[in-house]
Amino acid sequence: MVVAALLAGVLGILGPWWSFQEASFGHFGQYTGTLDWGLVSSTYSPPPIGTPPRTSNYTNLPHIGGVLSGAAVLSVLSLGFGGGLILTMVPAWRRDWFRFLGLALGAAGGAADFVAAFYVMSALPGAAETDLRTITSFVSITSFWGSGSGGNFDFHIDLVWGPGWAWYAAVVAGILLVLAGIARWRGWVLPSRRTGSPSTERSEAPPRQRP
């Protein structure tokens, strides 16, 4: 379970957390494509299929980049907590307090993933409103899921946006880490340290002697 959580966490760091599908037309022509926002960079994939995507960083998008950088730090912390949880399962460390340490590490790792996911969900729309003025002057982005359209006499744009698959991967990683911590706490039961229990043996009566 911990390995699955770490795998989901790594996929969450590498994949898109927010995706836009765009269709626009005007005097400049017609454009369609998908824009994916990851924790490190954004990728624009124009049609047709097979066209190389274009990748860029967030140098010109400071608010969006700041939100995603914060989520990246939390995601890396979650991986660290997950690695620590694996270490508590080493057979040589079979002590009671390692079970509680495993529970704490699982809870901390899950919390880091949850905070990252919900921080992005709540803060990224406002950051996009600030950084994407050329788009938000026509379409208001006020939620993590949504769609909208707008334009003027020589320009029109349609947008559909929502969480990317890596955002869901981060949530799954958080759930798995919490469950793994609970399993570490409940599932690794050590032998009792009591040396014994009060004797329950009955003393047998001596056999009767026949006259």
Residue with tokens 């899950």: 110
Instruction: Say which range, 27-31, 117-121, 142-146, has the weakest mean pLDDT.
Output: 27-31
Residue with tokens 């990683």: 173
pLDDT for res 104: 92
The pLDDT of residue 15 is above 80: yes
The predicted-structure confidence for 69-90, as pLDDT tens digits, reads as follows: 999 999 999 999 999 988 887 7
At residue 58, φ and ψ (nearest 5 deg) are -105, 30
pLDDT for res 73: 97
Fold of the domain built from segment(s) 2-187: Butyryl-CoA Dehydrogenase, subunit A; domain 3 (1.20.140)
Residue with tokens 């921080």: 119
pLDDT for res 200: 41
Q: Which two tokens stand for residue 181?
A: 């911590």
The pLDDT of residue 147 is above 80: yes
- C-alpha angle 165/166/172, rounded to 5°? 95
% residues pLDDT > 90 (the chain): 41
DSSP 194: -
The pLDDT of residue 206 is above 80: no
Give the domain ranges of the chain. Answer: 2-187
- Check residues 70 and 57 and name the one with the higher pLDDT: 70
pLDDT for res 150: 80
Could you tell me how far CA 31 lies from the centroid of its own chain? 32
